[in-house]
Amino acid sequence: MTFKSIIDEIENNLHKILDALTVSEIPFSVEPAKPGFGDVSSNVSFLLAKHMKKSPQEISITLSEKYSQLNHTLVSKVESHPSGYLNFFADWEKLSQLVLSESNLEEFGFVDLGKNSSIVVEHTSVNPNKALHIGHIRNIVVGDVISRILQKANYKVNVLNYVDDSGLQVADILVGFRHLGFSQEPPEGKKFDHYCGDDVYVKTTEKYEQDSSLEEIRKNVLKELEDGGSETAQFADKITGLVLENQLETCWNLGVTYDCLNYESQIIRSGLWSKIFEKLKEMKLVEFENEGKNSGCWVIRGEGKEEDKVIVRSNGTATYIAKDIPYAAWKLGLLEDPFNYKKYQKSQPGSRILWQTTLDASDDPKQNFSGDKVITVIDSRQARLQKIITTLMAKFKSASDAYVHMGYESVTLSPETARTLGLDTEGKQAQMSGRKGLYVNADSVYDLLKKKTIEETSKRHPEMHESDIQSIAHQISVGTLRYEMIKQDLDKIIAFDLTKSLSLEGDTAPYIQYTHARAARIIEKSGKGPSIDVDFSLLQDTNELNLVRLIGLFDIQVRDAAKNLSPKVIARYSHDLAVAFNSFYEHVKVLDIDDKNLEKSRLFLVNSFKLTIERSLALLGITAPDKM
C-alpha cells in the first residue's frame, strides 16, 4: 500500500461516521486532492446534503468534528472547505516512510485487479505484403503497453498477432511476382518487406488501372489462396513468411514481443467457420433473406438505421466477416481448438517463446492462448465490424464486456517531418496510404531518430565509447517513438513531428529519460548507495513532499490505466513525476550540505524517484538510461 493507505483509512472512518448517522449506500469518493484542498479530499458532504437537508458546508463542518474524534494514523488534521469539500492533511513523516520504503520493493505498483484471470490482447495484425509504417506503430505500441499494464494489474495476458495472409493485399503482390515479372530478390541493401511494399505492391495496383484483365487474375489468385494445397497457396506462404519475418524484426527492435501468431489462411481451412455458423443459426443471431437486394443471403440485422450485414452470399461463399467471427470465438475459448502449435523459427529478444498455429502435425505440445476476456486493438475505421463481433461475442459468452474493441485514430506526419522523409505533401500533414505508396516505414523513422540522437549524444559526451552512444541512441529513439504513440487520447489523430518529439523539454520521452539520468547522476556523485535508515521527518520542503506524493500515486495510476484501458494514464503520470523531480532538483540541494542526516533522507528520496520512474517507463516499454 502507498498513498492509497491514507485513502483507505479515510474511507473506513467515513463509513463509520455514516453508519452512526444511519446513512448507507452513499457512493462518495475519496481522492488525492487538487491544490488548495489539502492532501486528500472527499465529496461526501455534497451527497449527504439531500438526505440531511443541510448545506454541504454545514455537513462538512459536522463531519470534520466527528472525524477528529476517531482513531487515525496517517491523517494529521481534517478541515471543512468553504465549498463543502472535506479536506484531509497527511501526517507526512508517517506517510513518507510508508511510500518511500515500499517504493524500494520489487512489487511496487502492483494491483490485483485481474485476480490472475486470463485475458487476450490482439494487436499488430498487419497484412504481410509490406513494411510496417508509422501508422501501424500506434497499434503495435498501444497493444504492447496495455499488455504490460494488465500484467502489472495481475492479469494472465496472452498476446496474439493475427496474420492476414489470404486477403486482397497478399493477392496483389502475388500477381506482381507471378504475372508482372517482379524478381523475388530485393535490390541490394533493401529489406524484403520494404521491397514488397514500395515496389511490388504499389506498382501492381497501378497496373490494374491500365490492364483490366489483371482483375480476373487477382480473383483467381484469391480463390487459389483458400485452397491450402494449391501451388499458389504454397508460394504465398513463402512470400508472406519472408515479409512477416521482417515485420517482426521491426517490432522486436521496438521492444514488442508476442505469445502466438495466428494465420487467417489456417482459420479459413480449419473448419471453424462452419461450426460457428451453425451456432449463429441455432441462436437465431443470423437470418436468411428471402427478398430484396440481399435475397438468398444470410445476414446479421443492423441496429437502428444501420444496414444489414451479409455474412454468407447467395452463392454460398462467406464474406470477410466470416473470418473474424470464428477467430473471435476461438480467442474466447468458445470453440474446440483445431490447431496444433510449433515454435516460430526465430527467437524473440528476451525469454518469451513465440508460438504459431499450424494445421500440420507437430511434435510440440498443445497450447492454450484463449482468455476469459479479449481486447482487440484495431483502428477506429473498423468500428462497425467490431461492434457486430462484440455484440455476437457478448451473447455467446453472456457477458457484455467479454470482447472489447480498443479503437484508435490514425497517425499523420507533420509537413516538416514528411519533407525530411522525402514526401511532398504541399505543406499539409501526410496521411498514410500503402496502396498509393504514401507512407513512411517505421524503420526509416527509427533510423532518422537514431541518427539525430547519435549526433546530439556525441556532441554532449565526446568522451563516451561508441558502443555506449549506440545503446543510448537506441533507447532514446525507441522511447521517443513509443511515447509519441501513447501520450494522447486514443480518439485523437497524432501528427508526428521528429524534431519536437526529440526535445529535452516538454512532454517527450527524452525529457523523462533525461530526468531519470539526472537522478542517477546524483546517486553516482554521492559515492554511496541510498540507505533506508533515514529520518523521514526531515523531508518537509513542499517540493520534497510533492515528489513523495506522486511516487505514492503509482499503484493508483496503474489501477486507473488497467481499469479504463488507457495507456495515456501512465504516460501522463511519468511526465508529471519527471516534472515534480525537476522542480525538486531546482529548489532543493541534495549533496554537499551541512546536515548529513538530511542528505541521507534526500538521497533516499532521489533513489525512490529513480526506481519509480524506471517502473513507470517500463510499463510504456521505454528504457531509462543512466546517462544521456
Contacts of 459 (CB under 8 A, 6+ apart): none
Band (437; pLDDT cuts 50, 70, 90) = low
* Per-residue pLDDT band at 328 (split at 50, 70, 90): very high
Residue 224: predicted pLDDT: 86
Beta-bridge partner residues of 158? 120
Task: Check residues 51 and 433 and name the one with the higher pLDDT.
Answer: 51
**How far, in Å, are 407, 411, 434, 514, 618 from residue 440 at the CA level?**
22, 11, 9, 28, 27
Q: For residues 447 and 419, is the Cβ–Cβ distance under 8 A?
A: no
| Packing angle of the helix pair 442-460, 466-486 (nearest 10 deg) | 130
- CA dist 557 and 570 (Å) reads 7
Q: According to the model, what pLDDT value does residue 434 have?
A: 54
Whether the pLDDT of residue 495 is over 90: the answer is no
Strand partners, 133: 441
Cell numbers describing residue 26 = 452513499
Element (H, E) at 481: helix 466-486
Sequential DSSP letters for 304-339: TTPPPEEEE-TTS-B-THHHHHHHHHHHTT-S----
Beta strands in 416-472 (DSSP E): none
Residue 571 scores a pLDDT above 80: yes
**Contacting residues for 282 by C-beta, under 8 A, at least 6 apart:** none
| pLDDT of the residue at 430 | 62
So what's the pLDDT on residue 424? 67
Predicted local confidence at residue 432, as pLDDT? 61
Q: What is the mean pLDDT of residues 250-274?
A: 95
Q: How far apart are CA 442 and CA 452, in angstroms?
A: 16
Backbone phi, then psi, for 31, in 5-degree steps?
A: -140, 155
Residue keyed to cell 489501477: 559
pLDDT in tens, 132-169: 998 899 999 999 999 999 999 999 999 999 999 988 89
Give the number of other Cβ atoms within 10 Å of residue 460's Cβ. 11
pLDDT at 25: 82
Decide if 159 contacts 149 (C-beta within 8 A). no
Residue 219 DSSP code: H
Cα 154 from chain centre = 16
Residue 427: band (very low, low, confident or very high) from pLDDT cuts 50, 70, 90:
low
Residue 582 CB partners (closer than 8 Å, separation 6+): 515, 518
**Confidence at 511, pLDDT banded by 50, 70, 90:** very high
pLDDT exceeds 90 at position 514: yes
SS (H, E, C) 79-95: EECCCCCEEEEECHHHH
Show me where the domains of the chain are located. 3-90, 118-270+321-412, 272-320
Nearest alpha carbon to residue 411 among 434, 387, 432: 432
Give me the phi and psi of 314, to 5 degrees please: -65, -20
pLDDT tens-digit series, residues 472-489: 999 999 999 999 999 999
> Which helix H or strand E contains 98, and what residues bound it?
helix 92-102
Cβ–Cβ under 8 Å, residues 168 and 174: no
Mean pLDDT for all residues in the chain = 92
pLDDT on residue 323: 83
Mean pLDDT for 465-469 is 93
CATH topology match: 3-90 vs 118-270+321-412 = no
Instruction: Report how far apart, in Å, the C-alpha atoms of 239 and of each of 177, 179, 190, 341 are.
Output: 9, 15, 16, 21
Tell me the fold of 3-90. Answer: Gyrase A; domain 2 (3.30.1360)
**For residues 226 and 232, what is the distance between their CA atoms, to the nearest angstrom?**
10
Cell of 407: 479503437
**Which residue is listed with cell 525512490?**
608
Residue-wise pLDDT tens digits, 19-63: 998 887 889 999 999 888 899 999 999 999 988 889 999 999 999
Specify the pTM: 0.93
H or E, element range at 415 = helix 415-420
- Is residue 285 within 8 Å of residue 390, measured between CB atoms? no
Topology of the domain comprising 118-270+321-412? Rossmann fold (3.40.50)
Q: pLDDT exceeding 90 applies to what percent of the chain?
A: 75
Task: State the Rg of the chain over Cα.
Answer: 28
200-233 confidence digits (pLDDT tens): 998 998 898 888 888 889 988 988 887 777 899 9
Phi (first) and psi of residue 413, to 5 degrees: -110, 140
